[in-house]
């Protein structure tokens, strides 16, 4: 358990990655009470430094002794690293908040979005899981509606940016775009097909049921976070040529009738949600507009005229912030507050 202090020793594992960088920046932005920050990464980052509160902090190589004296460890270094080092970190006395998929569906590990299920944090045994980026923004928007009229079914199609894959994918989008505009050959290294000026209905590996792992994450994580195994969910996840910000087309069927205006009222009062919805004035959420923003934006709220109790929503969020780094730090803020 975390001991109450005025300031905390915070480790960021995977500090030189896009999400790790974001974690360091948000810790400073939100003035998290950091006594000392420990930056950890693989051997590839040896010799690098990151700026924190006006000082250049060296990046250390992650090893079994990295967590001595650490109070909170923010992990964003991939599932294999988390499986290896998160238990070591927890055993040393730190509370781990893990951004990978390693522990999300472990029944002993809380899977938390603070606006949705903060009560689950108290059940932790040293490790708390941060959900998938596309799951986070969807449940932030849907949980208030679920509480009001109970959602029976969700059909979601995601339009996910290249930053969800990492810096190399963002670089690939940039290089392919430049190549195409200069009538040069496109090279595909990160993705199996060209991502520039294209859409790939393929995120993570394909499973035996024909869905991708990413699609099943949306299904299983949503049920766990919303604590309702009876919600029927189907997902299609698509990678699009956007650098930052995930978008989702979400169709829901509810037990009770909910009008678009009633949904807008519910969402306007919900924590972490901004209703941005006036199509007559071309107002609806766009990835370029939510980049760097903390909230989940919802627009295009309209009735599904094919069923009695249905709504369509367009949900957009910055996947590196609320979809990853910010959500983890909000969990840490809840930990030190409670």
C-alpha triplet 16, 22, 28: angle, nearest 5°? 110
Q: Residue 220: how many CB atoms within 10 A of its CB?
A: 17
Whether residue 135 contacts residue 112, with contact meaning beta carbons closer than 8 Å, is answered with: no
Taking only Cα atoms into account, the Rg of the chain, rounded to an integer number of angstroms, comes to 20
Q: Which tokens belong to 3?
A: 């001991």
Distance of alpha carbon 282 from alpha carbon 302, whole angstroms: 15
DSSP conformation letters of 247-316: EEEEEEEESS---HHHHHHHHHTSTTEEE--BGGGTB---HHHHTT--SEEEEEEEE-TTSSSEEEEEEE
Compute the distance between CA of residue 57 and CA of residue 48 in angstroms, rounded to an integer: 9
DSSP 210-255: S-BHHHHHHHHHHHHHHT-TT-EEEEEEEE-S-SS-EEEEEEEEES
- Residue 248 in contact with residue 138, Cβ under 8 Å? yes
Q: Is 246 one of the catalytic residues?
A: yes
Count how many Cα atoms sit within 13 Å of the Cα of residue 146 in the half-sphere of its side chain: 23
Backbone angles phi, psi at 184, to 5 degrees: -110, 170
The single residue listed with the structure tokens 């920050």 is 37
| Tokens at 5, concatenated | 């202090």
List 119, 124, 133, 188, catalytic entry: 133
Catalytic residue list contains 119 = no
If you write DSSP's letter for every residue of 199-214 in order, what string do you get? -BS--SPBPTTS-BHH
Contacts of 280 (CB under 8 A, 6+ apart): none
Please name the residues in contact with 22: beta carbons below 8 A apart, sequence gap of 6 or more.
320, 321, 324, 325, 326
User: Of residues 119, 146, 202, 246, which has the active-site annotation?
Assistant: 246
Q: What are the catalytic residues?
A: 133, 246
């Amino acid at each position: 358990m975390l001991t109450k202090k005025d300031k905390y020793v915070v480790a960021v594992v995977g500090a030189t990655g896009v999400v790790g960088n974001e974690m360091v920046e948000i810790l400073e932005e939100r003035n998290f009470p950091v006594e000392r920050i420990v930056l950890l990464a693989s051997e590839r980052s040896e010799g690098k430094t990151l700026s924190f509160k006006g000082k250049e902090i060296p990046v250390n190589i992650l090893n079994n002794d990295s967590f001595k004296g650490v109070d909170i460890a923010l992990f964003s270094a991939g599932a294999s690293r988390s499986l290896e080092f998160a238990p070591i970190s927890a055993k040393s006395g730190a509370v781990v908040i893990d951004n990978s998929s390693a522990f999300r569906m472990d029944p002993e590990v809380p899977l938390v979005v603070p606006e949705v299920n903060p009560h689950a944090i108290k059940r932790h045994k040293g490790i708390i899981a941060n959900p998938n980026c596309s799951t986070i923004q969807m449940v932030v928007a849907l949980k208030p509606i679920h509480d009001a009229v109970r959602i029976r079914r969700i059909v979601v199609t995601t339009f996910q940016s290249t930053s969800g894959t990492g810096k190399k994918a963002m670089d690939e989008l940039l290089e392919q775009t430049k190549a195409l505009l200069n009538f040069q050959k496109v090279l595909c290294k990160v993705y199996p097909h060209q991502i520039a000026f294209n859409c790939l209905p393929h995120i993570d590996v394909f499973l035996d049921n024909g869905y991708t792992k990413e699609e099943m994450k949306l299904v299983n994580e949503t049920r766990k976070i919303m604590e309702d195994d009876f919600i029927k969910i189907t997902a299609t996840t698509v990678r699009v040529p956007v650098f930052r910000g995930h978008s989702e087309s979400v169709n829901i069927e509810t037990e009770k009738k909910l009008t678009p205006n009633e949904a807008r009222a519910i969402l306007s009062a919900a924590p972490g949600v901004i209703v941005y919805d006036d199509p007559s004035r071309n107002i609806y959420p766009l990835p370029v507009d939510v980049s760097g923003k903390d909230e989940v934006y919802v627009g295009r709220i309209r009735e599904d005229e094919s069923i009695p109790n249905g709504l369509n929503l367009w949900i957009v969020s910055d996947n590196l912030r609320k979809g990853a780094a910010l959500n983890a730090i909000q969990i840490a803020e809840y930990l030190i507050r409670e």
